[in-house]
Amino acid sequence: MSGHAAVKSLQRGELAERTGCNIETVRYYEKIGLLPEPPRTSGGHRAYSSSHERRLRFVIRARELGFSLDEIRELLRLAEERDRPCAEARIVAAAHLQDVRAKIADLKRMERVLKEVVAQCGDGTLPECPLIETLYREPVAK
Amino acid sequence: MSGHAAVKSLQRGELAERTGCNIETVRYYEKIGLLPEPPRTSGGHRAYSSSHERRLRFVIRARELGFSLDEIRELLRLAEERDRPCAEARIVAAAHLQDVRAKIADLKRMERVLKEVVAQCGDGTLPECPLIETLYREPVAK
DNA sequence: ATACGGGCTGTAGTCACTACAGGTTCAAGA
DNA sequence: TCTTGAACCTGTAGTGACTACAGCCCGTAT
Protein backbone atom coordinates (compact mmCIF):
# COMPACT_ATOMS: atom_id res chain seq x y z
CA MET A 1 0.00 0.00 0.00
CA SER A 2 1.39 3.31 -1.09
CA GLY A 3 1.10 6.63 0.70
CA HIS A 4 -1.43 8.03 -1.72
CA ALA A 5 -4.27 8.17 0.77
CA ALA A 6 -6.74 6.78 -1.75
CA VAL A 7 -8.31 4.55 0.85
CA LYS A 8 -11.86 5.64 0.28
CA SER A 9 -13.23 8.38 -1.89
CA LEU A 10 -15.99 10.66 -0.77
CA GLN A 11 -18.95 11.26 -3.02
CA ARG A 12 -22.45 12.67 -3.05
CA GLY A 13 -21.47 15.80 -1.20
CA GLU A 14 -19.83 13.84 1.57
CA LEU A 15 -16.85 16.15 1.59
CA ALA A 16 -19.08 19.16 1.95
CA GLU A 17 -21.15 17.42 4.59
CA ARG A 18 -18.15 16.24 6.57
CA THR A 19 -16.48 19.64 6.60
CA GLY A 20 -19.55 21.82 6.83
CA CYS A 21 -18.33 23.71 3.80
CA ASN A 22 -20.81 24.54 1.06
CA ILE A 23 -20.24 22.34 -1.97
CA GLU A 24 -20.28 25.39 -4.24
CA THR A 25 -17.52 26.88 -2.17
CA VAL A 26 -15.42 23.73 -2.49
CA ARG A 27 -15.73 23.92 -6.27
CA TYR A 28 -14.89 27.61 -6.15
CA TYR A 29 -11.70 26.81 -4.21
CA GLU A 30 -10.86 24.24 -6.83
CA LYS A 31 -11.48 26.70 -9.65
CA ILE A 32 -9.14 29.31 -8.22
CA GLY A 33 -6.46 26.69 -7.63
CA LEU A 34 -6.62 26.54 -3.84
CA LEU A 35 -7.60 22.88 -3.89
CA PRO A 36 -6.26 20.35 -6.40
CA GLU A 37 -8.60 18.90 -8.99
CA PRO A 38 -9.78 15.55 -7.67
CA PRO A 39 -10.01 12.48 -9.88
CA ARG A 40 -13.37 11.83 -11.46
CA THR A 41 -15.68 8.85 -11.70
CA SER A 42 -16.47 7.50 -15.16
CA GLY A 43 -19.51 9.75 -15.18
CA GLY A 44 -17.52 12.88 -14.33
CA HIS A 45 -18.35 13.22 -10.64
CA ARG A 46 -15.55 14.34 -8.32
CA ALA A 47 -14.12 11.62 -6.09
CA TYR A 48 -12.25 13.20 -3.20
CA SER A 49 -9.61 11.48 -1.12
CA SER A 50 -8.75 12.13 2.51
CA SER A 51 -5.90 14.38 1.39
CA HIS A 52 -8.45 16.65 -0.24
CA GLU A 53 -10.40 16.71 2.96
CA ARG A 54 -7.29 17.55 4.94
CA ARG A 55 -6.41 20.42 2.64
CA LEU A 56 -9.97 21.73 2.66
CA ARG A 57 -10.01 21.71 6.44
CA PHE A 58 -6.81 23.75 6.39
CA VAL A 59 -8.50 26.32 4.19
CA ILE A 60 -11.63 26.40 6.34
CA ARG A 61 -9.71 26.88 9.55
CA ALA A 62 -7.58 29.59 8.01
CA ARG A 63 -10.73 31.36 6.81
CA GLU A 64 -12.10 31.14 10.34
CA LEU A 65 -9.01 33.04 11.43
CA GLY A 66 -9.75 35.67 8.80
CA PHE A 67 -6.90 34.94 6.39
CA SER A 68 -7.60 35.98 2.81
CA LEU A 69 -7.58 33.31 0.12
CA ASP A 70 -4.30 34.72 -1.17
CA GLU A 71 -2.74 34.43 2.27
CA ILE A 72 -4.04 30.89 2.52
CA ARG A 73 -2.53 30.08 -0.84
CA GLU A 74 0.79 31.29 0.52
CA LEU A 75 0.40 29.34 3.76
CA LEU A 76 -0.42 26.17 1.85
CA ARG A 77 2.64 26.67 -0.33
CA LEU A 78 4.79 27.09 2.77
CA ALA A 79 3.19 24.09 4.43
CA GLU A 80 4.04 21.94 1.44
CA GLU A 81 7.53 23.21 0.82
CA ARG A 82 8.66 21.87 4.18
CA ASP A 83 11.78 24.00 3.95
CA ARG A 84 11.73 25.90 7.20
CA PRO A 85 8.33 27.48 6.60
CA CYS A 86 7.90 28.71 10.16
CA ALA A 87 9.62 32.08 9.82
CA GLU A 88 7.69 32.97 6.68
CA ALA A 89 4.39 31.68 7.99
CA ARG A 90 4.95 33.73 11.11
CA ILE A 91 5.36 36.86 8.98
CA VAL A 92 2.09 36.19 7.17
CA ALA A 93 0.27 35.57 10.44
CA ALA A 94 1.80 38.57 12.20
CA ALA A 95 0.79 40.87 9.34
CA HIS A 96 -2.72 39.46 9.47
CA LEU A 97 -2.81 39.91 13.24
CA GLN A 98 -2.03 43.59 12.67
CA ASP A 99 -4.94 43.81 10.21
CA VAL A 100 -7.27 42.16 12.67
CA ARG A 101 -6.23 44.55 15.44
CA ALA A 102 -6.75 47.54 13.15
CA LYS A 103 -10.23 46.29 12.31
CA ILE A 104 -11.03 45.81 15.98
CA ALA A 105 -9.91 49.36 16.69
CA ASP A 106 -12.10 50.70 13.85
CA LEU A 107 -15.12 48.76 15.05
CA LYS A 108 -14.62 49.86 18.64
CA ARG A 109 -14.65 53.48 17.52
CA MET A 110 -17.92 52.82 15.71
CA GLU A 111 -19.33 51.00 18.70
CA ARG A 112 -18.54 53.86 21.07
CA VAL A 113 -20.28 56.46 18.90
CA LEU A 114 -23.24 54.22 18.12
CA LYS A 115 -23.72 53.39 21.76
CA GLU A 116 -23.76 57.09 22.59
CA VAL A 117 -26.25 58.11 19.96
CA VAL A 118 -28.58 55.21 20.67
CA ALA A 119 -28.50 56.18 24.33
CA GLN A 120 -29.19 59.81 23.45
CA CYS A 121 -32.17 58.74 21.38
CA GLY A 122 -33.67 57.36 24.57
CA ASP A 123 -37.15 56.07 23.88
CA GLY A 124 -37.25 57.67 20.44
CA THR A 125 -39.79 60.38 21.22
CA LEU A 126 -37.44 63.33 20.81
CA PRO A 127 -38.45 65.82 18.14
CA GLU A 128 -34.85 66.23 16.92
CA CYS A 129 -33.21 62.83 16.57
CA PRO A 130 -29.67 62.94 18.01
CA LEU A 131 -28.57 60.18 15.65
CA ILE A 132 -29.62 62.08 12.56
CA GLU A 133 -28.23 65.32 13.95
CA THR A 134 -24.90 63.61 14.61
CA LEU A 135 -24.76 62.45 11.01
CA TYR A 136 -25.60 65.88 9.65
CA ARG A 137 -23.29 67.75 11.99
CA GLU A 138 -20.15 69.04 10.35
CA PRO A 139 -16.94 67.62 11.85
CA VAL A 140 -15.90 71.18 12.75
CA ALA A 141 -19.06 73.06 13.63
CA LYS A 142 -18.66 76.79 13.69
CA MET B 1 -33.92 84.82 -1.66
CA SER B 2 -35.48 81.41 -1.52
CA GLY B 3 -34.38 78.47 0.57
CA HIS B 4 -32.97 76.58 -2.36
CA ALA B 5 -29.34 76.79 -1.28
CA ALA B 6 -28.17 77.60 -4.80
CA VAL B 7 -25.79 80.23 -3.56
CA LYS B 8 -22.67 78.91 -5.21
CA SER B 9 -22.12 75.73 -7.14
CA LEU B 10 -19.05 73.59 -6.73
CA GLN B 11 -17.18 72.42 -9.80
CA ARG B 12 -13.90 70.89 -10.89
CA GLY B 13 -13.98 68.22 -8.22
CA GLU B 14 -14.46 70.76 -5.48
CA LEU B 15 -17.12 68.64 -3.80
CA ALA B 16 -14.83 65.66 -3.74
CA GLU B 17 -11.95 67.78 -2.52
CA ARG B 18 -13.99 69.50 0.20
CA THR B 19 -15.41 66.24 1.57
CA GLY B 20 -12.39 64.02 1.01
CA CYS B 21 -14.62 61.62 -0.87
CA ASN B 22 -13.36 60.17 -4.13
CA ILE B 23 -15.14 61.75 -7.07
CA GLU B 24 -15.87 58.32 -8.54
CA THR B 25 -17.55 57.38 -5.29
CA VAL B 26 -19.74 60.48 -5.39
CA ARG B 27 -20.89 59.55 -8.88
CA TYR B 28 -21.48 55.99 -7.68
CA TYR B 29 -23.70 57.28 -4.87
CA GLU B 30 -25.59 59.32 -7.42
CA LYS B 31 -26.00 56.32 -9.72
CA ILE B 32 -27.51 54.14 -7.01
CA GLY B 33 -29.85 56.93 -5.97
CA LEU B 34 -28.27 57.84 -2.65
CA LEU B 35 -27.53 61.37 -3.80
CA PRO B 36 -29.83 63.40 -6.07
CA GLU B 37 -28.72 64.20 -9.60
CA PRO B 38 -27.26 67.69 -9.53
CA PRO B 39 -28.04 70.25 -12.23
CA ARG B 40 -25.55 70.43 -15.08
CA THR B 41 -23.65 73.20 -16.78
CA SER B 42 -24.35 73.79 -20.47
CA GLY B 43 -21.45 71.46 -21.22
CA GLY B 44 -22.81 68.65 -19.08
CA HIS B 45 -20.59 69.03 -15.99
CA ARG B 46 -22.21 68.52 -12.61
CA ALA B 47 -22.80 71.69 -10.58
CA TYR B 48 -23.34 70.78 -6.92
CA SER B 49 -25.03 73.00 -4.37
CA SER B 50 -24.41 73.12 -0.65
CA SER B 51 -27.38 70.82 -0.09
CA HIS B 52 -25.58 68.15 -2.09
CA GLU B 53 -22.53 68.64 0.06
CA ARG B 54 -24.61 68.37 3.20
CA ARG B 55 -26.20 65.14 2.06
CA LEU B 56 -22.87 63.70 0.94
CA ARG B 57 -21.35 64.48 4.34
CA PHE B 58 -24.24 62.61 5.95
CA VAL B 59 -23.44 59.58 3.83
CA ILE B 60 -19.73 59.80 4.56
CA ARG B 61 -20.24 60.05 8.31
CA ALA B 62 -22.70 57.19 8.29
CA ARG B 63 -20.18 55.08 6.33
CA GLU B 64 -17.58 55.94 8.94
CA LEU B 65 -19.95 54.44 11.50
CA GLY B 66 -20.16 51.31 9.38
CA PHE B 67 -23.73 51.65 8.14
CA SER B 68 -24.43 49.90 4.86
CA LEU B 69 -25.60 51.98 1.92
CA ASP B 70 -29.06 50.47 2.30
CA GLU B 71 -29.19 51.49 5.94
CA ILE B 72 -28.02 54.96 4.96
CA ARG B 73 -30.75 55.15 2.34
CA GLU B 74 -33.24 54.39 5.10
CA LEU B 75 -31.70 56.92 7.49
CA LEU B 76 -31.80 59.61 4.82
CA ARG B 77 -35.43 58.82 4.15
CA LEU B 78 -36.21 59.12 7.85
CA ALA B 79 -34.20 62.33 8.14
CA GLU B 80 -36.24 63.86 5.34
CA GLU B 81 -39.64 62.64 6.40
CA ARG B 82 -39.45 64.67 9.60
CA ASP B 83 -42.33 62.66 10.99
CA ARG B 84 -40.96 61.44 14.30
CA PRO B 85 -37.99 59.65 12.76
CA CYS B 86 -36.16 59.14 16.04
CA ALA B 87 -37.76 55.84 17.06
CA GLU B 88 -37.17 54.27 13.67
CA ALA B 89 -33.66 55.66 13.32
CA ARG B 90 -32.88 54.28 16.74
CA ILE B 91 -33.96 50.82 15.62
CA VAL B 92 -31.68 50.99 12.59
CA ALA B 93 -28.76 52.16 14.71
CA ALA B 94 -29.38 49.64 17.49
CA ALA B 95 -29.46 46.78 14.97
CA HIS B 96 -26.25 48.02 13.44
CA LEU B 97 -24.67 48.31 16.88
CA GLN B 98 -25.48 44.63 17.40
CA ASP B 99 -23.75 43.83 14.10
CA VAL B 100 -20.71 45.82 15.08
CA ARG B 101 -20.49 44.06 18.43
CA ALA B 102 -20.79 40.67 16.76
CA LYS B 103 -17.98 41.58 14.39
CA ILE B 104 -15.81 42.73 17.27
CA ALA B 105 -16.43 39.42 19.04
CA ASP B 106 -15.46 37.48 15.88
CA LEU B 107 -12.32 39.49 15.40
CA LYS B 108 -11.32 39.13 19.04
CA ARG B 109 -11.59 35.37 18.72
CA MET B 110 -9.32 35.52 15.70
CA GLU B 111 -6.93 37.84 17.49
CA ARG B 112 -6.61 35.54 20.47
CA VAL B 113 -5.74 32.49 18.36
CA LEU B 114 -3.43 34.43 16.06
CA LYS B 115 -1.60 35.95 19.00
CA GLU B 116 -1.09 32.48 20.46
CA VAL B 117 0.23 30.86 17.31
CA VAL B 118 2.52 33.75 16.49
CA ALA B 119 3.91 33.54 20.01
CA GLN B 120 4.35 29.77 19.67
CA CYS B 121 6.25 30.29 16.44
CA GLY B 122 8.81 32.24 18.45
CA ASP B 123 11.71 33.22 16.23
CA GLY B 124 10.54 30.97 13.41
CA THR B 125 13.29 28.38 13.67
CA LEU B 126 11.08 25.50 14.78
CA PRO B 127 11.09 22.48 12.50
CA GLU B 128 7.32 21.98 12.89
CA CYS B 129 5.54 25.31 12.52
CA PRO B 130 2.84 25.63 15.22
CA LEU B 131 0.80 27.91 12.97
CA ILE B 132 0.66 25.39 10.15
CA GLU B 133 0.04 22.54 12.59
CA THR B 134 -2.84 24.47 14.12
CA LEU B 135 -4.40 24.91 10.71
CA TYR B 136 -4.01 21.23 9.85
CA ARG B 137 -5.17 19.97 13.20
CA GLU B 138 -8.66 18.53 13.25
CA PRO B 139 -11.06 20.39 15.54
CA VAL B 140 -11.53 17.20 17.58
CA ALA B 141 -8.20 15.41 17.58
CA LYS B 142 -8.41 11.78 18.59
C1' DA C 1 -5.64 79.13 -30.98
C1' DT C 2 -4.28 75.46 -28.57
C1' DA C 3 -2.91 72.58 -25.03
C1' DC C 4 -3.99 69.82 -21.26
C1' DG C 5 -6.11 68.89 -16.92
C1' DG C 6 -10.16 67.53 -15.55
C1' DG C 7 -14.91 66.26 -16.40
C1' DC C 8 -18.17 62.85 -18.95
C1' DT C 9 -20.24 57.86 -19.84
C1' DG C 10 -20.05 53.12 -19.55
C1' DT C 11 -17.81 48.92 -18.60
C1' DA C 12 -15.02 45.73 -16.09
C1' DG C 13 -12.39 44.38 -12.12
C1' DT C 14 -11.99 43.50 -6.98
C1' DC C 15 -13.12 39.61 -2.88
C1' DA C 16 -15.27 35.52 -1.41
C1' DC C 17 -18.63 33.55 -2.24
C1' DT C 18 -23.81 32.27 -3.64
C1' DA C 19 -27.52 31.29 -6.81
C1' DC C 20 -29.24 29.96 -10.56
C1' DA C 21 -30.23 27.48 -15.52
C1' DG C 22 -30.04 23.73 -18.09
C1' DG C 23 -28.21 19.39 -18.56
C1' DT C 24 -26.25 14.56 -16.84
C1' DT C 25 -25.40 10.78 -13.58
C1' DC C 26 -26.23 7.70 -9.90
C1' DA C 27 -28.34 4.84 -6.48
C1' DA C 28 -32.44 3.11 -4.61
C1' DG C 29 -37.04 1.38 -5.02
C1' DA C 30 -40.74 -1.17 -7.89
C1' DT D 1 -34.73 -3.85 -15.64
C1' DC D 2 -36.74 0.38 -15.51
C1' DT D 3 -37.85 4.59 -13.42
C1' DT D 4 -37.58 8.17 -10.42
C1' DG D 5 -35.66 11.94 -8.22
C1' DA D 6 -31.92 13.70 -5.74
C1' DA D 7 -27.54 15.16 -6.36
C1' DC D 8 -24.02 16.08 -9.42
C1' DC D 9 -22.01 18.74 -13.68
C1' DT D 10 -20.62 23.40 -16.24
C1' DG D 11 -20.91 28.07 -16.85
C1' DT D 12 -22.69 32.51 -15.93
C1' DA D 13 -24.42 36.26 -13.21
C1' DG D 14 -25.32 38.50 -8.91
C1' DT D 15 -23.81 40.45 -4.21
C1' DG D 16 -21.53 45.23 -1.70
C1' DA D 17 -18.99 49.17 -2.08
C1' DC D 18 -16.30 50.78 -4.46
C1' DT D 19 -12.08 51.54 -7.99
C1' DA D 20 -9.91 51.79 -12.49
C1' DC D 21 -9.88 52.30 -17.00
C1' DA D 22 -10.92 53.59 -22.15
C1' DG D 23 -12.22 56.87 -25.11
C1' DC D 24 -14.31 61.04 -25.56
C1' DC D 25 -15.57 66.10 -24.43
C1' DC D 26 -15.25 70.65 -21.92
C1' DG D 27 -13.20 74.69 -20.14
C1' DT D 28 -9.74 77.62 -18.81
C1' DA D 29 -5.07 79.62 -19.05
C1' DT D 30 -1.65 80.93 -21.90
pLDDT at B5: 35
Q: Mean pLDDT, to the nearest integer, of A117-138? A: 88
Interface test with B, best of A111, A123, A135, A137 (most B CBs within 10 A): A135
Note the ipTM here: 0.86
DSSP 8-state assignment for residue B65: T
Among B129, B133, B134, most A C-beta atoms within 10 A, so best to mutate, is: B129
Full domain range(s) for residue B36: 7-65
pLDDT band for position A9 (cuts 50, 70, 90): low
Residue A28 counted as domain residue: yes
Q: Is residue A33 part of a domain?
A: yes
Q: φ and ψ at A70, to 5 degrees?
A: -70, -40
pLDDT band at A126 (very low <50, low <70, confident <90, very high): confident
Residue B134 has phi, psi (to 5 degrees) of -60, -40
| Cβ contacts of A99 within 8 Å, gap of 6 or more | A66
Give residue B81's pLDDT. Answer: 83
- Cβ-Cβ contacts under 8 Å for A41 (sequence gap 6 or more): A11, A47
Domain presence at residue B99 = no
Strand D: positions under 7 A of a protein C-beta atom: 7-10, 16-21, 25-27
Does residue A72 fall inside a structural domain? Answer: no
* Chain A with chain B: Cβ pairs closer than 8 A: 157
d(CA A42, C1' C25) / Å = 10
Is pLDDT at A5 greater than 70 in this prediction?
no
| C-beta neighbour count of A84 within 10 angstroms | 14
Q: How many helices (H) and strands (E) does chain A have?
A: 6, 0
* CATH number reported for the structural domain that contains residue B30 in this entry: 1.10.1660.10
Assigned domain for A51 exists: yes
Q: What is the pLDDT of residue A13?
A: 62
Min Cα–Cα distance to chain A from B61, Å: 6
- List phi, psi (to 5°) of B12: 50, 45
- Of residues A112 and B4, more confidently modeled: A112
Q: Which residues from chain A sit within 8 angstroms of residue B137, using beta carbons?
A: 61
Over pLDDT 90: what percentage of chain B? 71
C-alpha distance from A42 to closest chain B C-alpha (Å): 31
Q: Do the domain assignments include residue B107?
A: no
Q: Do B125 and A61 touch (CB under 8 A)?
A: no
Cα–Cα distances in angstroms (integers) from residue A86 to residues A81, A118, B111, B128, in the given order: 11, 46, 19, 7
Distance CA B50, CA B55 (A): 9
Q: Does residue A105 sit within a domain?
A: no
Is A77 within 8 Å of chain B by CB? no
Residue of A nearest to B85 (CA): A129
Dihedral, B100, B104, B107, B109 alpha carbons, nearest 10: -140
For residue A140, pLDDT over 50 is answered with: no
Within its chain, how far is the Cα of A9 from the centroid? 26
What per-residue confidence (pLDDT) applies to B11? Answer: 60
Q: Per the domain annotation, does B104 fall within a domain?
A: no
pLDDT for B139 equals 53
B25 CB less than 7 Å from any atom of strand D? yes
**What is the domain count for chain B?**
1
The pLDDT of residue A26 is above 90: yes
- pLDDT averaged per 10 residues, chain B (length 142): 44 71 95 95 92 94 97 95 85 97 98 96 87 78 30
Q: Computed over its alpha carbons, how large is the radius of gyration of chain B?
A: 24
pLDDT grade for A88, boundaries at 50, 70 and 90: very high
